[in-house]
A and B are shown apart, each in its own frame.
Chain A
Amino acid sequence: MASMDVNAGLHEQLTKCGITLAASLPDDWVAPLIQRIEGDNAIRHVPVAREAEAIAICSGAFFGGVRSVALMGATGLLTCTGELATLNLRHAIPVFLIVSQRGTIDDQRIYQEVQGRRTKPLLDMFDFPYHVVERPEDIGCIPDCYETSRLQKRPFVLFLARQLMKGDVR
């Protein structure tokens, strides 16, 4: 499946989740999805200055009865684990994050390798649920992931794998 089709599929699944607000800070893998959302009049897109802002906005949207998603890169996820723990875990507030899974063995970037090694262990430590989407045919799991976040009232991280987002492009 071409990357454009993957992003169309992701967008379609977010719509199935009932999402009407998206807060984002781009990394280059999720940027095309953000661009699609920006063009969707049914989803209010909020570009933020820092990833923790996206977590807070989505939490406020939950208070107000609106379904939302926070989109960011793996580095951005590391910057807001404090807020995810002290706001979302402490107050039992669900938040759904879509994050590029940077730093895997097929992503040979020295500035991403720590994210690749340490992000999942960090989420395990906090006991935040996560799921990695590696193939286009797995995109349909997103509504179940979203409802898991709502059920558990915790952050849920949906990782987008390199093969899914970039194919064979190096």
Chain B
Amino acid sequence: MATKNDLASQPALKVMNRRDLSKRLVAKLKRDEAIIGGIGNTNFDLWAVGHRPQNFYMLGSMGITVPIALGVALAQPDRGVIAIEGDGSLLMSLGCLATIGMLQPRNLTIVVMDNGMYEITGRQKTATHATSDIVAIARGAGIENSVWARDEAHFDQLIDRRFDEGGPHLIAVKIDDEHATEQTPRDPALIRQRFMQGIGTGRKSALDG
């Protein structure tokens, strides 16, 4: 199993920028893939790089982005489903990695934006700042295709593929602590309704025109 020392012995991991990586990820999507954006800056930056009907921006409920994405992936096995999650949130629910390792959903990709801190509450440090290696944890949970992106080119290479097969995948990136500059609309029920329309399960009402 990989350890902190393995991480330290890898080629240096470039510290990248969440908004830039979100833009790169969205630009690669060609098949109406669903994205579940984790709370706070993670979904703020997802919103900032351009709204898509297939984006769900979770407001609150820290820690359950990945199992929500798993539920969508199981319900729609022909659609690629991507969870974007921060390190602090993922640390709350590491058990879900074991569930995914056991189920092996082929259409699920997890992108972990790891800056080693609870950025939105004042940059308090998380365990990934010290000893915890998300990729090693995911591999240990049975998600064999788990990898650190070394830099932007490597990230592009890792996501330059079909998202609806070959998974599960976990891609972890080291990012800086730059706050998002925009925030999602604060209408949770509308976000849910529009997301469901975006993935073909929500009914349009007469009020939608």
On A, residues with C-beta under 8 Å from B are: 21, 23, 44, 46-50, 52-53, 55-66, 68, 82-83, 86-87, 90-93
A76 to chain B, nearest CB (A): 13
B55 to chain A, nearest CB (A): 12
| Number of residues on chain B facing chain A (CB within 8 A) | 37
Q: Chain B residues near A61 (CB, 8 Å)?
A: 71-72, 74-75
Q: Chain A residues near B71 (CB, 8 Å)?
A: 21, 23, 56-64, 68
* Cβ-closest 3 pairs across A and B: A60-B71, A64-B75, A49-B95
Partner of B201, one of A63, A90, A91, A92: A63
Any A CB within 8 A of the CB of B142:
no
Cα–Cα distance between A139 and B189 once the two chains are bound (Å)? 32
Q: Chain B residues near A23 (CB, 8 Å)?
A: 71
Q: Are A87 and B60 in contact (CB under 8 A)?
A: yes
Which of B61-69, B147-155, B171-179 has 4 or more CB atoms under 8 Å from chain A?
Answer: B61-69
Task: Tell me whether A64 and B67 are in contact in the complex, defined as CB-CB below 8 angstroms, given that A49-B95, A92-B188, A92-B189 are known contacts.
Answer: no
Q: Chain B residues near A68 (CB, 8 Å)?
A: 71
Q: Chain A residues near B68 (CB, 8 Å)?
A: 56-57, 59-60, 63, 87
Least CB separation from B196: chain A residue: A63
Q: Chain A residues near B93 (CB, 8 Å)?
A: 50, 52-53
Beyond contacts A63-B195, A91-B58: 17 other A-B pairs, Cβ-Cβ < 8 A, are: A46-B103, A47-B102, A48-B67, A53-B96, A55-B64, A57-B70, A59-B71, A60-B67, A60-B73, A63-B34, A63-B72, A63-B75, A63-B196, A64-B74, A87-B58, A90-B60, A91-B188
